[in-house]
Each structure stands twice: as C-alpha cells, then as structure tokens.
Homo-oligomer: A and B are copies of this chain.
C-alpha cells in the first residue's frame, strides 16, 4: 500500500508516519521509485503497536521508542530485557540505597529477586503511598496481592518456555505493558460487581 493508505488505515497523519521512519521507530517502505515506497501489513502492525503504547498506556514517545528498541534488539537474556522494559514503564520510582518495605514484602512472598530491578523501587514507593494515605499494609495484605499476582504471572510466563527468544522477548515486554490496563480495569469492574450485587462472600474455589 502507499503511505496515504497506511495513514488512513492506521489513523496516523502522513507527516507523523514520516517522522517515525526518520526516527527509526518504523522501518522504511520498499522503494518503488524516487518518490514512492510500498508499505505492508508489518508497517500497519507496528503503527498499531505504537498507538497502543502511546494512547492506552499514555507513554511519552521516548518511552515508546525505548520499548520498541528492546523488542527490535533482543541481544540480551529475557531477564535483562524484562528488567529494562519494566524500567521504561510507569511508575518511575526514585532509586535509593535500600528499599526496606519492598524487601520485607518480597521476603514474605519468598520471591527470588535482583534488588536493582526497577520493580523493587516501584514497590517501595507504592507501599509508602499506601501507608502515607493511612491505609493498612501488613504481611497478610502482601500475601493477598502476592498470591493473585503469582497466579497471573505463572500463567503468563508458561508460554515463554516454548517460544524462540525473539518472540519470547516481544511477548514479555508487550505483555507486561499491555495486560496491566486490562487487569486494572477488571479489578475496578470486580469492585463494582461486588458492591452492586451486595456479595461480600468469597467466590467459590
């Protein structure tokens, strides 16, 4: 397809598409003449991915670029890549020498972890905010959220084992970024459901 059709199908203006190409976020089309290039479905997919990260995740362009480059250059191990992807996603928590509240929670849950992983600082800030707001935080509450997240993560990680490395990395990076809003929307809907239906009893096992 020509760039005009790509613009129409993706919803991005032609000028923006040209900017993404110059910037390296989108591959060039196949040159058909000095002034015309041909674009394919892979260009459309890439633009949809940019829109998903920029609009739904509301990521600034620099972070979108960082995430795309992780997917495009999967040179390192999935763990390193996942660490960098998580650092590129909000909340952007301040680095510190120690993260005592996060450490205590992670130890309660028995997770293996690298203390430099961005999610450790993110958890420290998040627990701090809960406590600053006067909400309860204790081991039992940590275990409640930990159990739900271990269950989700176990199902999410399982397919990674059978994927080739580059596919596994794209899946891990995009899955981290794009299933978060799904989860949060469902939690909000579950609250409404429970309040509307008056149910306070636990769901069947």
Contact = CB atoms under 8 A, between A and B. Distances in A.
Nearest to A120: B189
B155 A57 contact: no
- Chain A binding site: helix, strand, loop or mixed by DSSP? helix
A134 to B, nearest CB: 6
Interface stretch (A1-9, A14-22, A23-31, A143-151): A143-151
A165 interface: no
Interface in A111-137: 111-114, 117-120, 122-123, 125-130, 132-135
Contact of A195 (B91, B150, B157): B157
Number of copies: 2
A70 interface: no
A48 B134 CA distance: 9
A57 B129 contact: yes
A79 interface: yes
Nearest to A114: B192
A6 B153 CA distance: 42
A111 B193 contact: yes
A129 B178 CA distance: 7
A166 to B, nearest CB: 13
A171 interface: yes
Contact of A82 (B58, B132, B192): B192
A132 B48 contact: yes
B149 A194 contact: no
